[in-house]
């Protein structure tokens, strides 16, 4: 049932963010403004991820996840009530921060309820929930926008958030997920987690995959619309991305057993880099779908592996905090790179955005390959 809470929350988050993208295009936002809008979804997680992680360690799942769902509801209602770019920036900040709180609290709870040998399988289910959400949320948002106007998707996804809150309440009756006493903090606080080489590598890999996900989700539909696609067709690109993610996640546990975690991570980054490189050169709708599916397969294979490596390496009483550090580092990349690349897109064109993303992912693949041991396992 915890996975069901994440599924409903993911549907709302993905749908709202896609609706905000199309709404901003309707309001004639420039690529730079779009990049800033994407950064609005990550500025809250960038600033508060570690604190949210510590709270989930100390207080447990219910108060942190409940507060996150409330923030997401407030952001969705604000975007529906006042259709203007400044409101979309506020909405993005509330929805992004709220989603981070729900995601951190639920993942922390799942990690504490799951035995170590089942961790990759558990996070594969979490990742599959995100894939399902990524498949249906853009289609719901695009159809609601075309049929009922720009405010309709926000109000529709409020229903998903309410359903998530009810599911969480039901789940907590069965699993009273309370917190645990915090470990004494060192003088350097969360920075001492960066002393662990395994955690450092996972943090950086997660940041690259988060950057790749956000760049593609935000700029791929824009590229499609500029190529003449309708909002519904642009939504289908994101559904193809989610389909690719879903198709590979069932195989993720078997791939890690066969090849090792870091070999899988390196191959996933290579796959994404190739797709990013060719995407701005495409003009055919079916080619857009194929490239999106490739990106989805790369991202979909990597996420459960990265989460497994993180929770395996983190101290037991600082799991949420370690996830918070990962969220902060990922959010910095999600905030900085879209803004920089959005400005680059305004000045040079969308090709530069995708090729810069491809270059960063290729460098990440090389670094992941270097961490591969003789049998492909992490080291």
With a cut of 50, say whether residue 178 has pLDDT above it.
yes
Tokens of 115: 């035995």
pLDDT at 374: 40
Paired with 79 in beta bridges are none
Q: Are 85 and 24 in contact (CB under 8 A)?
A: yes
With a cut of 70, say whether residue 300 has pLDDT above it.
yes
Most confident listed range (159-173, 222-236, 240-254): 159-173
With a cut of 80, say whether residue 356 has pLDDT above it.
yes
Q: Are 21 and 221 in contact (CB under 8 A)?
A: yes
H/E run at residue 330: helix 319-347
| Number of domains forming the structure of the chain | 1
pLDDT at 4: 87
Neighbours of 80 (CB within 10 A): 22
Query: Is 125 or 187 the better-scoring residue by pLDDT?
Result: 125
**339: Cβ–Cβ under 8 A, 6 or more apart, which residues?**
32, 35, 36, 38, 39
Provide the pLDDT confidence category of residue 162 given band limits of 50, 70 and 90: very high
**Domain with 170 in it: what CATH number?**
1.20.1250.20
Tokens of 331: 């959010």
Q: Are 345 and 353 in contact (CB under 8 A)?
A: yes
The reply to whether 186 falls in a domain is no
Provide the pLDDT confidence category of residue 347 given band limits of 50, 70 and 90: low
Tokens of 249: 């996640």
Share of the chain above pLDDT 90, in %: 19
pLDDT at 338: 63
Q: In whole angstroms, what is the distance from residue 78 CA to residue 100 CA?
A: 19
The reply to whether 379 falls in a domain is no
What is residue 178's three-state secondary structure? strand
Mean pLDDT confidence for 78-105: 90
Provide the pLDDT confidence category of residue 58 given band limits of 50, 70 and 90: confident
What is residue 60's three-state secondary structure? strand
H/E run at residue 243: helix 231-249
Q: In whole angstroms, what is the distance from residue 82 CA to residue 156 CA?
A: 16
Which residues constitute the domain of residue 240?
2-175+193-371
With a cut of 50, say whether residue 181 has pLDDT above it.
no
The reply to whether 108 falls in a domain is yes
The reply to whether 355 falls in a domain is yes
The reply to whether 183 falls in a domain is no
Paired with 178 in beta bridges are 60
Query: Is 160 or 253 the better-scoring residue by pLDDT?
Result: 160
Share of the chain above pLDDT 70, in %: 87
With a cut of 50, say whether residue 182 has pLDDT above it.
no
The reply to whether 257 falls in a domain is yes
What's the mean per-residue pLDDT of the chain? 81
Q: Are 129 and 246 in contact (CB under 8 A)?
A: no
What is residue 84's three-state secondary structure? coil
Triad 45, 50, 54: Cα angle to 5°? 130
Most confident listed range (11-15, 54-58, 105-109): 11-15
pLDDT tens across 109-145, in order? 877 777 766 666 777 777 778 778 877 888 888 888 8
pLDDT at 341: 67
Query: Is 32 or 152 the better-scoring residue by pLDDT?
Result: 152
pTM of the prediction? 0.68
With a cut of 80, say whether residue 324 has pLDDT above it.
no
Alpha-carbon radius of gyration of the chain = 19
Mean pLDDT confidence for 16-27: 86
The reply to whether 349 falls in a domain is yes
The reply to whether 38 falls in a domain is yes
Q: What are phi and psi of 52, to 5 degrees?
A: -65, -40
Q: In whole angstroms, what is the distance from residue 321 CA to residue 315 CA?
A: 9
């Amino acid at each position: 049932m915890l996975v069901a809470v994440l599924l409903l929350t993911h549907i709302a988050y993905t749908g709202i963010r896609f609706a905000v993208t199309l709404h901003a295009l309707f309001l004639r936002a420039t690529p730079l403004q779009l990049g800033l809008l994407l950064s609005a979804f990550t500025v809250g997680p960038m600033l508060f991820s570690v604190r949210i992680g510590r709270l989930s360690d100390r207080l447990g799942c219910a108060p942190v996840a409940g507060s996150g769902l409330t923030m997401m509801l407030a952001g969705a209602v604000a975007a529906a009530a006042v259709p203007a770019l400044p409101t979309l920036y506020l909405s993005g900040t509330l929805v992004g921060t709220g989603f981070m709180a729900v995601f951190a609290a639920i993942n922390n709870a799942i990690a504490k309820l799951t035995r170590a040998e089942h961790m990759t399988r558990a996070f594969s289910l979490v990742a599959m929930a995100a894939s399902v959400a990524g498949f249906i949320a853009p289609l719901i948002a695009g159809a609601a926008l075309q049929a009922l106007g720009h405010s309709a998707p926000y109000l529709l996804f409020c229903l998903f958030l309410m359903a998530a809150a009810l599911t969480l309440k039901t789940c907590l009756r069965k699993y009273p997920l309370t917190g645990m006493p915090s470990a004494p903090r060192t003088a350097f606080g969360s920075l001492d987690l960066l002393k662990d080489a395994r955690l450092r590598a996972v943090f950086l890999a997660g940041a690259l995959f988060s950057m790749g996900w956000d760049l593609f989700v935000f700029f791929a539909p824009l590229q499609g619309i500029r190529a003449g696609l309708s909002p519904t067709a642009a939504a289908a690109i994101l559904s193809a991305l989610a389909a690719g993610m879903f198709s590979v996640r069932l195989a993720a546990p078997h791939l890690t057993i066969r090849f090792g975690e870091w070999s899988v991570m390196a191959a996933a980054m290579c796959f994404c880099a190739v797709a990013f490189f060719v995407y701005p050169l495409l003009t055919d709708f079916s080619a857009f779908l194929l490239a999106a599916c490739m990106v989805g397969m790369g991202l979909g294979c990597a996420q459960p592996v990265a989460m497994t490596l993180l929770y395996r390496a983190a101290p037991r009483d600082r799991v949420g905090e370690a996830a918070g550090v990962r969220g902060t580092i990922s959010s910095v990349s999600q905030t900085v790179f879209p803004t920089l690349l959005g400005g680059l897109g305004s000045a040079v064109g969308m090709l530069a955005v995708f090729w810069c993303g491809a270059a960063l992912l290729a460098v990440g693949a090389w670094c992941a390959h270097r961490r591969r041991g003789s049998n492909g396992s992490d080291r």
